[in-house]
């Protein structure tokens, strides 16, 4: 009998898994040590679990077996129940157990709690991003709910709990809960002031009082959450923010009807939906007429999660590319030995470290209350969200290309990162909204940009390229009228972020990283295509070994 064997499989390599995401990350270890984190053993433990073969498999399964909506039971009763693959629950339980949803607010934490939270979010987000949505929204809701004494007494312990409870039950019967968000409507999009959902008081009006909401939400994030924070119009006071639970205290479902789940490009493991409110019961949070400022405070936290989450995607894409090109052969050498591929890999490594240095310093500023930290939180939160999330979209495409056709096949992590990356550019405000938010902060409080620029000048004065850029940016922010500034906003914010990244690298990274970043980012070619840089003063071996030495 003839045995058919047309070819042997060689020079083919799977995506990397089964390694410790923390132990292999020199940059992350340095950042945490610099800012005084005492949680290295926890991060090493989490990095080992998240990087294990089984959790890579869970991530794949959760994204291939997407949530299923069951609007009705077998006898036609409205239930609006979501069914998730068991792999989703493994990820939710893991992140809950490590406090990814609430670490800065847990009683046992002390200093550097936002920094330590960022490390948790960053490590987990490298492998499965979809479950970070309910973690991020729950995180963002906690400070708002803490201000409502009656609600906090009812919810606080369950919000902070690190025990995962997947049951769909009234809150009183659960060990832990999740909070989602409902802002966007069909006619308004980012213009929340155009919202039409209407809230009428059950009896007395005002903060802490019960209302009935009627209307819709075009994007209702994580509808399986135990409650949502929702923006709605009131008759006399304008927009307000409401706490709207999934179940009522009498054990009946609240009148929130899920119309359908969104068929999204990425973020497949997580559910997003369209809903109708038909006299849905809720409690006003914050002051009447202050709905947007109230919910925006939540969004400031979730915008930080976008920056950290996109940095995580960049990190994972970079590591996968380096690991793959060190094995794959072409034209007699490994891909990683080919000069042109080295230019791409170096560019990816520089961008990733710059994103990490920015995201973690920003998280560190959430641990502080000084003037510089305030300027960073107000200006650099939207600026970082704009730039890092945009770069993750472009660079995930480049990283996928490193794998060639294998990267484009929808069975591995490279394609998943590519499809996942755009969600952070859109969620919690598109790029234009972020740039306008930066301008709004500068125009309302010019002192903020002065504080920021003065701190940058302490470093830029030692580098002529950076000093010239700072002088030019300072002039533009000062002399442009509002219309000109808005027209140029994307350019201004992009240049601001790159300058801040260059300064952070000058302060905290080795010279071979900082000089390569400055040389490449301030050359005439950078920004057109990844890998367009001069080889002068680029230490390829040191940069790539620093990025991933395993």
Q: What digits encode the pLDDT tens for the residues 163-200?
A: 999 999 999 999 999 999 998 888 877 777 788 999 99
Place of tokens 């899920």: 258
- Per CATH, the architecture of 173-290 is what? Beta Barrel (2.40)
Burial class (CB in 10 A: 0-12, 13-18, 19+), 34: middle
- CA distance from start to end of the chain: 46
pLDDT at site 111: 64
Q: Give 31's contacts (C-beta < 8 A, 6+ positions apart).
A: 356, 357, 360, 508
How far is residue 396's CA from residue 412's CA, in Å, rounded to a whole number? 13
3-state SS class at 247: strand
Q: Are 119 and 28 in contact (CB under 8 A)?
A: yes
Predicted local confidence at residue 352, as pLDDT: 98
When pLDDT is averaged across residues 419-443 and rounded to a whole number, the result is: 94
Average pLDDT over residues 24-41: 94
Q: How much is the pTM?
A: 0.96
Same fold, 173-290 and 294-547: no
Among 484, 41, 122, residue whose Cα is nearest residue 306: 122
Per-residue pLDDT at 526? 59
- How far apart, in whole angstroms, are the C-alpha atoms of residue 302 and residue 381? 10
- What is the pLDDT at residue 291? 87
294-547 — its CATH code? 1.20.140.10
Phi, psi dihedral angles at 534 (to 5 degrees): -80, 150
Average of pLDDT values for 300-318? 97
Residue 319: closest CA among 530, 12, 14, 21: 21
Dist. CA 321–CA 530, nearest whole Å = 14
Query: Are the beta carbons of 112 and 35 closer than 8 angstroms?
Result: yes
pLDDT at 527: 59
Q: What is the average pLDDT score of the chain?
A: 94
Ordered by start, the domain boundaries in the chain are 26-160, 173-290, 294-547
Other Cβ atoms within 10 Å of 3 Cβ, number? 4
Determine how β-strand 256-261 pairs with β-strand 272-285.
antiparallel
**pLDDT grade for 326, boundaries at 50, 70 and 90:** very high
How far, in Å, CA of 481 to CA of 449, rounded? 16
Q: Which residue has the higher pLDDT, 527 or 380?
A: 380
Q: Tokens for 119, please give them.
A: 């490390």
Count CA within 13 A, CB hemisphere, residue 142: 23
pLDDT at 525: 63
**pLDDT band at residue 428, thresholds of 50, 70 and 90?**
confident
> 180 vs 18, 49, 138, 472, CA distance in Å?
32, 27, 7, 42
Q: What is the mean pLDDT of residues 127-136?
A: 97
Question: Which residues, in sequence order, are CB contacts of 406 under 8 Å at separation 6+?
Answer: 12, 412, 414
DSSP one-letter code for 207: T
Closest CA relative to residue 431, chosen from 310, 526, 529 = 310
Question: In whole angstroms, what is the distance from residue 464 CA to residue 468 CA?
Answer: 6
Instruction: Give the helix/strand (H/E) hosting 257.
Output: strand 256-261
Determine the pLDDT at residue 12. 85
pLDDT tens digits for range 204-234:
999 999 999 999 999 999 999 999 999 999 9
- Average pLDDT estimate for 313-329: 97
Cα dihedral sign, 387-390-393-399: negative
Candidates 128, 127, 139, 121; CA nearest to 28 is 121
Q: What pLDDT does residue 194 have?
A: 81
Q: How far apart are CA 344 and CA 121, in angstroms?
A: 27
> How many C-beta atoms lie closer than 10 Å to residue 443's C-beta?
13
């Amino acid at each position: 009998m003839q045995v058919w064997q047309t070819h042997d499989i060689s020079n083919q390599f799977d995506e990397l898994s089964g390694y410790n995401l923390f132990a292999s990350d020199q940059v992350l270890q340095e950042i945490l040590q610099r800012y005084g984190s005492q949680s290295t053993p926890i991060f090493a433990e989490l990095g080992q679990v998240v990087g294990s073969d089984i959790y890579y498999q869970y991530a794949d399964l959760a994204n291939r077996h997407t949530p299923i909506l069951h609007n009705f039971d077998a006898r036609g009763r409205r239930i609006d129940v979501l069914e998730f693959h068991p792999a989703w629950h493994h990820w939710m339980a893991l992140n809950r157990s490590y406090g990814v949803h609430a670490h800065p607010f847990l009683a046992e934490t002390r200093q550097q709690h936002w920094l330590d939270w960022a490390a948790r979010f960053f490590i987990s987000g490298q492998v499965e991003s979809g479950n970070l949505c309910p973690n991020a929204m729950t995180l963002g809701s906690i400070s708002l709910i803490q201000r409502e004494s009656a609600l906090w007494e009812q919810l606080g312990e369950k919000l902070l709990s690190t025990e995962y409870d997947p049951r769909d039950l009234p809150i009183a019967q659960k060990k832990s809960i999740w909070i989602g968000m409902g802002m966007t409507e069909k006619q308004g999009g980012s213009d929340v002031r155009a919202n039409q959902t209407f809230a009428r008081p059950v009896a007395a009006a005002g903060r802490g009082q019960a209302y009935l909401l009627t209307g819709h939400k075009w994007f209702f994030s994580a509808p399986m959450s135990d409650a949502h924070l929702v923006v709605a119009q009131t008759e006399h006071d304008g927009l307000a923010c409401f706490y709207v639970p999934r179940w009522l205290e009498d054990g009946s479902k609240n009148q929130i009807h899920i119309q359908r789940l969104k068929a999204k490009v990425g973020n497949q493991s997580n559910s997003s939906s369209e809903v109708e409110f038909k006299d849905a019961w809720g409690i006003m949070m914050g002051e009447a007429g202050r709905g947007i400022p109230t919910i925006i405070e939540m969004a400031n936290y979730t915008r930080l999660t976008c920056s950290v989450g996109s940095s995580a995607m960049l990190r994972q894409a970079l590591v996968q590319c380096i690991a793959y090109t060190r094995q794959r052969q072409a034209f007699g050498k490994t891909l990683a030995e080919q000069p042109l591929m080295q230019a791409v890999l170096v560019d990816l490594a520089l961008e990733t470290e710059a994103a990490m240095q920015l995201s973690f310093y920003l998280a560190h500023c959430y641990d502080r209350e000084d003037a510089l930290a305030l300027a960073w939180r107000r200006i650099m939160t939207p600026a970082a969200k704009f730039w890092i999330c945009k770069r993750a979209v472009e660079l995930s495409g480049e990283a996928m290309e490193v794998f060639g056709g294998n990267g484009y096949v929808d069975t591995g992590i490279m394609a998943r990162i590519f499809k996942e990356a755009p969600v952070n550019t859109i969620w919690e405000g598109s790029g234009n909204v972020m740039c306008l938010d930066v301008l709004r902060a500068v125009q309302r409080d010019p002192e903020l940009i002065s504080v920021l620029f003065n701190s940058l000048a302490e470093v830029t004065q030692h580098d002529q390229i950076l000093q010239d850029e700072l002088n030019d940016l300072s002039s533009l922010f000062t002399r442009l009228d509002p219309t000109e500034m808005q027209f140029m906003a994307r350019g201004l914010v992009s240049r601001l972020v790159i300058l801040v990244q260059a300064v952070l690298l000058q302060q905290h990274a080795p010279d071979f990283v900082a000089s390569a970043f400055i040389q490449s980012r301030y050359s005439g070619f950078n920004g057109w295509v990844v890998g367009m840089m001069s080889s002068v003063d680029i230490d390829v071996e040191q940069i790539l070994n620093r990025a991933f030495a395993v």
